[in-house]
Amino acid sequence: IYHLTGDYDPSNGISIYIENPSQVELYKGLTTNASHIVKSAGSFEYPEFIYGTYVVIFYNSSDGSAVKFSWNKGRFTTTLTMSPIDSGFIMSQDYLPEHPISAFEQQFSIELITDSSHMTGIRIEFLKPLGQGHGTLQMQQYNKLLNEIPYPAADGETVFEQCGTRMIISYVSPGGSSNGLYARYSRGSQVCNHGPRIMKSYIAFLTALLCTLLC
């Protein structure tokens, strides 16, 4: 059990690194209730930053897994980078709060660092209902805006993916204790090449060649 004491600001939390995560279970708060699990045994993925003052880690001592942790304060914007083989979780301040909290806004910026052969976009899966929380998803190709849509206060099954190198998730919470954003991000499965632009260049080349031969 890891416990943060002395400062109960809702933006505080615990950074976790698990050396051998395969058989470790991770819970948010002082509980082992299934509704508070943020990492199951058998999974290698887990949120690296958990808001709150308690985290419970459950594992078999024979596994010999080293755990590193530290106390940090979350920021308005959480900036994350990922390679084509990476995935991870994002969590808002009001996800499974220990106490009701005030209204706030939060933002997550996820950037895919890759070469042109792996341009398949970014995927986001909302794993839990948002309650009254709401916000927008913005896709960018480097610094160029491609699309911005509102995402619904969904039932925990909403999946969105689109071509682009950066996804910005803006979240607005009305406060209280029954809201929260908990989502998984990963590489998308879109076909994000520059086919139309290449075709236009090819047509222009053929036009110029024909003009040279016939004009």
pLDDT single digits (tens) 121-136:
999 999 888 888 999 9
| Domains defined along the chain, listed by start | 1-74 (no CATH), 76-215 (2.60.120.290)
How far apart, in whole angstroms, are the C-alpha atoms of residue 157 and residue 131?
A: 13
Residue 101 pLDDT exceeds 70: yes
Mean pLDDT for 196-200 is 36
Q: Is a pLDDT exceeding 60 seen at residue 14?
A: yes
> Residue 200 and residue 82: Cα distance in Å, rounded?
32
Q: Which two tokens stand for residue 39?
A: 């990492």
Which pTM was predicted? 0.79
The whole-chain average pLDDT of the chain stands at: 81
Following DSSP, what letter does each residue of the chain receive, concatenated? -EE--S---TTEEEEEEESSGGG-EEEESS---GGGEEE-TT-----SEEESSEEEEE--GGG---EEEEEEE--SEEEEEE-TT-EEEEE-TTSS-SS-B--EEEEEEEEE---GGG---EEEEE-S--TT-EEEEEEEETTEEEEEEEEP---S--EEEESSSEEEEEEEE--BSS---EEEEEE-------HHHHHHHHHHHHHHHHHHHH-
Distance in angstroms (rounded) separating the CA atoms of residues 97 and 125? 21
Half-sphere exposure of 51 (CA within 13 A, CB side): 23
For the beta carbon of residue 180, count every other beta carbon within 10 angstroms.
21
- Identify the band that residue 152 occupies on the pLDDT scale cut at 50, 70 and 90: low
Q: How far is CA 41 from CA 15, 167, 197, in A?
A: 19, 29, 46
37-95 pLDDT per residue, tens: 998 887 888 888 899 888 898 877 666 667 788 888 888 889 999 988 889 999 999 99
Q: What pLDDT does residue 196 have?
A: 36
